[in-house]
Structure 1
Amino acid sequence: MTDAGTTGHAPVDALLLLSFGGPEGQEDVIPFLENVTAGRGIPTERLEEVATHYRHLGGRSPINDLNREIISNVEAELASRGRDLPVYFGNRNWTPMAADTVRQMAADGIRNAAVFATSAWGGYSGCAQYQEDIVRVLDSIDDAPSMIRLRQFYDHPLFVERFATDLRAALDAAAPGARVVFTAHSVPDAADAVAGPPELGGHLYSRQVQEASRLVADTAGVREYDVVWQSRSGPPSVPWLEPDVVDHVTALATGQGVTDVVVVPIGFISDHVEVIWDLDTELVDEVRDLGVTVTRCATPGPSREFARMIVELLDEAESGVIQSRPGCVPSLGMNRDGARCAVGCCAR
């Protein structure tokens, strides 16, 4: 595997969308969760607890269909630019598995592919684990194509602008004066501390989330907002990024009399289970009796702007020309500072 750098690369002959994966039916739920937690010693009862979230949706995660929608939009964007580039789909934890997809790419004669991972962020699970996925797949397949990884995109102007547009729409739909709360997936404090190469100071994930929230708020004209976390797992004795979104909104209601909240799922590109369950279901249910109305901002994945962003990231990787980055926190991969993503730069 190679990394996109400031000198650019020759045009690629395919694009691979690499994602997390999700079950397609009730019988897939536990095997999927076993894939997700392989090697971590997670007890069966904990898997069954998480499985209820998927079973609530009929055992089918929306994530695969949402990714196929993104692919369809990317294909349309490529076609509008006169480019005939095949777009493939592979997952880490469920079908279509990345290894099977790359085998098909090799059989199709693909020699030089770009990889877009469906995470905007640094850190282990959002970045380095995808790097490891790619390396493991390439090492296992003879004649696998070479691959370049498109950069992190937390501050890409199209990502920021789409979120800001949807935030303004959510504010219009909410009661006047609604409190704006940005939320992203929590991670253990220790993992966040080592996220990113040491020379960048660690805490890359949480800093990027904070910076993306600031950029979206500024673009939308929001002056006051909060940044919180969600979807934590693991034993209570292990510190994770806080405050939790449910705890925070509860505190807003009981301590400040807040009755209306606009929640912005800044950490997620599409409405998959951790948005539909943790925010639209669990959060709404937990604060309803406190008299709080939750208006949830849309995610950008299905939008034309998001597809345009992916194609622009591809253009960057091929040309070596980086467009303006409004963020003040590093974005690894192909960036103006010449930083490189490297397997092992973010510890678990």
Structure 2
Amino acid sequence: MPKVIKIDSFGGPEVMQMRTEPRVSLKPGEALVAHIAVGVNYLDISQRQGHYPLPLPTGLGVSGCGIIKEIRTEGLDLGVGDIVAYAGVPPGSYAEERSVAADRLVKLPATIEPQLAAAALQQGITAAFLLQDVFPVRRGHVVLVHAAAGGVGTILCQWARTIGATVVGVVGSKDKTSHAFSHGCEHVVVSTSEQVADQIRELTGGRGADVVFDSTGADTFETSLLSLSMRGMLVSFGSASGDPQPVEVGKLAQLGSLYLTRPRFIHYTRQRQDLLRYATAFFAKVESGLKVPIGQIYKLDQLAQAHRDIESRATRGSSVILF
């Protein structure tokens, strides 16, 4: 029977328990994927903690890559033996194999390594819709990215730089500045030792950033607002430090007729054509030289340590479980 990680209660990394479970029968429209590798994302931690409550008991993990062993659908150009990747599906990836809705699967190009796809497809698709549709970044824009040395940040900064934007990365410690500089950032600000908003104003001659991509949440929300140019947009797409406090609508006007949005992965990838469009754009960027460093590699029985590493902000780039 395949091994799987489950939780029976919300809490710290210790609530994750490995067990074996019988293989379930596929429903129409599903495929059985035997994993080669599985991504570890901050969303997994939020779900484990109960920040996004799930029915218990539950599996964890929303992205992975593997081989189709069985499929119960037609018309999707997918078949047994195909290497596929997926992201943004219901939790359950922390397992040797799992069933996945077939229309959520993306066939992997021969040029893309399964390990990379598992580690970064969720992050790459996120970067794609943030840059292309949430705030269409253009040449000349000033882009501020929090957690610039993290998984999404590493991709966002490089991608925005290839468009022609001026990219300012915010990192949590000085030892992460070299990573940010080598992955797309023209300027790097250390949040623990510098006033971020003041630094942005100084770097831009008082103008501020056209867009701030903020995955940190409560700890950086106010700074993000203060870093924006007139009619700039704050894209709050994560809450690693908790949810931001409510903001009065009038404050957006006072600070320069600002825009505020909270995009979700599922809302931008509901249609298969959009999922494939973003995935294809990400793969094309990788093929043209975008670097996706996998900073941490774990085994299934090391997931508790993986979560601790990510929570302590000790990681760089993407994290992956290999089978």
| Shared fold (TM-score, shorter chain, > 0.5) | no
TM-score (norm 2): 0.38
| Greater length-normalized contact order (CA 8 Å, ≥ 6 residues apart) | 1
Q: TM-score, normalised by structure 1?
A: 0.36
> Higher helix fraction: Structure 1 or Structure 2?
1
